[in-house]
Amino acid sequence: MPRLHLHLLSDSTGETLEMIAKAALAQFEETDIQRHFWPMVRSRQHLDRIVPDLAANPGLVLFTLVNAETRARLEEHCRTIGLPAVPVLDAVTEALETQLGQAAHGRPGRQHSMDDAYFKRVEAIHYTIAHDDGIAYEDWEDADIILAGVSRSSKTPTSIYLANRGYKVANIPLVVESPPPDLLFRLRRPMVVGLTTAPERLVQVRRNRLLTIADGQESTYVDAERVAEEVRFARRMFADNAWPVIDVTRRSIEETAAAVIKLYNEREAREIPPVVGPKPI
């Protein structure tokens, strides 16, 4: 199995760099990747302390450093050691500079500045945590998105992921014996999305869940026929209310969230009235 030391150097939190590395590594199978993560590298002194580890664990260096002096010093060190160093955002930044006709600001962590979008994201996270699993349904009209589905259909992790993207999300478990509050069917502002999954996959997920709680005894919670009926019950509700449905059986949380965002943006685009220009003379 190929082994690689992957060094990630960032002058900010490194979140962007980690996401890029994760997306690229997903294209490779059966590899042993040893990550070395170095966030907040903003001085020559900090960088110089990292160099011995680069030399001791040769591999690939990916970096997002906007300070010209710091990045030049890193590149010099990598040439001396004989390591490839890739500035992962350079191509995108240069293309934007060309298209926009202006130079990039070159300020570390600018994407994490405390602007309106930042505070909107914080508000969304607070709202989403406070409205998990059907809690505080009286405030659902304030949500952007409501996720509905049977137990263990990835509602909560998807909600949290969406909240980190700035969406206020509530979620509601659908239980055959306990109908959801009537308010769910009268909402005007939020978009309600149904999450469904294959019953056999749901049984497997629930069995794994039972192993981590209580004594893990079998129950109707993992009975195949019962689970299939739950899924059918939820699907009927989705169809009766014309809610869009996403099958999460083979989707990651990120993929499910992306599908929800696409549905939300499409709905927003339909509801924006067309711009009417002046009548021709």
* pTM for this prediction: 0.66
Residues of the chain with CATH 3.40.50.2300: 3-110
Please tell me whether 159 is known to bind a ligand.
no
Please tell me whether 113 is known to bind a ligand.
no
pLDDT tens column, 89-99: 888 878 888 88
- pLDDT bin (cut points 50, 70, 90) of residue 115 is low
CB 23 within 8 A of CB 16: no
Please tell me whether 151 is known to bind a ligand.
yes
- Supply angle C-alpha 138, 255, 240, rounded to 5: 50
CATH of domain 3-110: 3.40.50.2300
Mapping DSSP onto H, E and C, the string for 187-242 reads CCCCEEEEEECCHHHHHHHHHHHHCCCCCCCCCHHHCHHHHHHHHHHHHHHHHHCC
With CA atoms as reference, report the closest residue to 133 among 151, 115, 107.
Answer: 151
pLDDT tens column, 42-80: 899 999 999 999 999 999 999 999 888 999 999 999 999
Task: Look at residue 153 and give its three-state secondary structure.
Answer: coil
Please report where in the chains the tokens 């994407």 appear, as a residue.
Answer: 111
Please tell me whether 153 is known to bind a ligand.
yes
CATH second-level architecture of 116-271?
3-Layer(aba) Sandwich (3.40)
- pLDDT bin (cut points 50, 70, 90) of residue 234 is very high
pLDDT tens column, 148-160: 999 999 999 999 9
Residues 6+ apart with CB under 8 A from 173: 133, 134, 149, 150, 151, 155
